[in-house]
Amino acid sequence: MRMVGYVGGMLRGWLRGWLGGWLLAVWVLAGGVGVASAQGLVVDATVNETTVGLEETVAYTVEVRGTSIGSLRTPEPPATEGLVLLQAVPTRRSNLSLINGRMQQRVAFTWLFRPVREGQARIGVAEVVVDGETYRTRPITLRIVPQTRRPSTPGQTTPYGTSPDRTDRTIDASDLFIRAIPSKQQVYQGEQVLVEYQLFFRDGVQLRQSRLTDAGDADGFWREELDVDARPVPRSVVENGLRYNMITLKRVAVFPARSGTLLIEPLRIQTEAYVPFNRGDPFERFFSLRSQYQPVELASPALRIDVRPLPEPAPPGFTGAVGQFTLDAGVDRTEVEVGEAVQLRVTLSGTGNIATLEAPPFEPPGIFEQYDPEVSTSVIRSGREVRGARTFTYVLVPRSNGRFELPPLSFTYFDPEAGRYETQTAPAQTIRVTGTAASPLASGTTAEGLPVDDIADLKATPTRWVALGRTPLHERPLVYVALLLPLLLLAGLYGVQRRAARLAADVGYARRRRAHPLARRHLKQAEAYLASNQPRAFYEEVARAVQGFIGNRLNLPERGLTRTRLDDQLAARGVPDEVRQTLRAFLDECDQARFSPVLPDQEAMASACDRAAGLIIRLDQMLAREVAVS
């Protein structure tokens, strides 16, 4: 083991030197030396753990990242509470990496601290001066606990991570958690709320076989799923001094359907995760074999949304739309002939619950025949809100010529951003109808000359009723037979179903039911062998018919069914000795005929077939009588 550790250490050292030199050469060749731009500069402060045992050490790192870092002075260690500094001069590390085709430079300074007492500790603000500009980090709060409460044994913490004598520990809440972030927590009824579920996991933690167990039910909400990347790229973030990788698991837009305090249940996932032996050093993670996956169940916190009712009184025409919308209306043509169709398209677009929008009130002139509108909805679920359009297409058919005006349309909704009701208006549409309306008499009369869509005149001609001489329907027996036929059919189907269920559940009953069909099948096959003069096959089939019938009739397994056991079973069921002797003699005769060098003639074979059928009938009667008596 020492030799393996020695070789691993040599390989790690060689890879660090080779990779660092290669990246530095690439940076120099790319023109990185001498560039003084500080645009996009980021300064972060992190610690290796926020919950620390009293005997452990804390590695505090200030990292400067940017496309190019100019003049950088070594910062002073920050002030602390409850910690003592172990080294005044920080360990400095530099790194170059290529991210999205752009070179990024990293410089990190690490100090080591040791706790002095249990309770809460604090690391203050660190100041970093780059090209004369001062950057300040955020303070970090730590929790110091007794060493016995730590899940792992203490080891020496170095700027590159935990020393190799520290064993693996279990996953805890600081390594892996889900955060639910609502866009708002105080909204109006019907207002859109975006809930984003983010998964945070520490550097080096790897996941596999993750699955969603609870999607986060939201009673009292209408919800729409928003699109997220199926294969997201983790983003590096710092939370309370710890560096995490963050991905977006899910985005959901919810619309409260009632006022009051509503609850969004937690989102739950099950996964398997592991923390490498030493996650602080990428080379150590690469060479470490001391890793194991642990089952983990994660849940986001439940969210409470305070929903306010919409202001009263609501204006006329308001149908419950909440969001920000625009109204657009237009006809496909403004000049038609009588009887031709005109299409009026009314489109509501914007952000909000598009799928539940109702059409604006529309009453065309009475000269137009109006049909129910055709509704189409287009919802865009990408981004951070639900948006789209809902279109209502009316078909109008004019029945007279002239110049007509379709009334203007108005749509009222509540704008939660402005906190008031808004009304969108579409202008009136003018339609010119040409041609001549068809004569109502020519196009609206029946074959008898009666007008359609009108009141016919009373006929004064006297009418004489004539008896048809047919039997009334209620006196016909076939009618009652037709009424009872479905009931008889259902009863038959019920009986068939019960019989099939009993055949599947009761093996003995099923074997008794198929005893006769199988025996007849074997005897029929024996007759075929008789016709083709195959004595051995004939006697084998005849013996199988008789012996198989008895086995099925008595529900005896065919395997291991000897003549002696067969005779005992028949005797136990009251079959006379005479019949049993006849059966034994017949089966012996079949065996002799099968294996005798002298083949029997056709007359003997025909007699054997008849005797086999007679034995089966006789045994069936005796066994049936025995079952009836029992």
List pLDDT tens digits, range 141-156.
998 998 887 754 444 4
Residue 440 domain-assigned? no
And the tokens for 225?
């799923």
pLDDT at 421 over 90: yes
Residue 327 domain-assigned? yes
Nearest to 283 by CA among 22, 60, 10, 99: 10
What CA–CA distance (Å, rounded) separates 27 from 22? 9
List pLDDT tens digits, range 478-525.
888 888 889 888 888 888 888 777 777 776 777 777 778 888 888 888
Task: Identify the helix (H) or strand (E) that includes residue 459.
Answer: none
Q: Rounded to an integer, what is the distance from CA 196 to the centroid of its chain?
A: 18
> Are residues 409 and 420 located together in one domain of the fold?
yes
Residue 484 domain-assigned? no
Residue 258 domain-assigned? yes
> Are residues 180 and 291 located together in one domain of the fold?
yes
What CA–CA distance (Å, rounded) separates 461 from 475? 34
> Are residues 180 and 299 located together in one domain of the fold?
yes
What CA–CA distance (Å, rounded) separates 221 from 213? 20
List pLDDT tens digits, range 185-211.
899 999 999 999 999 888 778 888 777
> Are residues 127 and 186 located together in one domain of the fold?
no
We report the CATH number of the domain holding residue 149 as 2.60.40.10
Amino acid at 305: I
Query: What is the pLDDT at residue 229?
Result: 83
> Are residues 187 and 143 located together in one domain of the fold?
no
Boundary residue ending a domain (162, 184, 206): 162
Residue 468 domain-assigned? no
Mean pLDDT of 588-608: 82
List pLDDT tens digits, range 547-570.
888 888 887 776 656 778 888 888
> Are residues 410 and 328 located together in one domain of the fold?
yes
> Are residues 107 and 5 located together in one domain of the fold?
no
Residue 202 domain-assigned? yes
Mean pLDDT of 102-121: 88
Q: List the domain range (segments joined by +) for residue 525.
A: 508-629
Mean pLDDT of 309-322: 90
Task: Identify the helix (H) or strand (E) that includes residue 602.
Answer: helix 602-629
Query: What is the pLDDT at residue 3?
Result: 39
With cut-offs at 50, 70 and 90, classify the pLDDT of residue 370. Answer: confident
Query: What is the pLDDT at residue 423?
Result: 92
Query: What is the pLDDT at residue 392?
Result: 94
Query: What is the pLDDT at residue 415?
Result: 93
List pLDDT tens digits, range 37-52.
344 788 889 988 888 8
Residue 444 domain-assigned? no
What CA–CA distance (Å, rounded) separates 173 from 568? 73
> Are residues 201 and 297 located together in one domain of the fold?
yes
Mean pLDDT of 300-313: 92
pLDDT at 309 over 90: yes
Number of domains forming the structure of the chain: 5
CB-based contacts of 249: which residues, under 8 Å, 6+ apart? 178, 197, 198, 199, 228, 267, 269
Query: Cα Rg for the chain, rounded, in angstroms?
Result: 46
> Are residues 43 and 11 located together in one domain of the fold?
no
What CA–CA distance (Å, rounded) separates 110 from 91? 5
> Are residues 299 and 323 located together in one domain of the fold?
no
Query: Do residues 324 and 296 make contact, with C-beta atoms less than 8 angstroms apart?
Result: no
Pairwise pLDDT comparison (502 vs 26), residue with the higher score: 502
Residue 470 domain-assigned? no
Neighbours of 190 (CB within 10 A): 24
Instruction: State in Å, rounded, how far the first CA of the chain is from the last one.
Output: 79
Mean pLDDT of 297-316: 91
pTM: 0.51
Mean pLDDT of 426-440: 80
Q: Rounded to an integer, what is the distance from CA 94 to the centroid of its chain?
A: 45
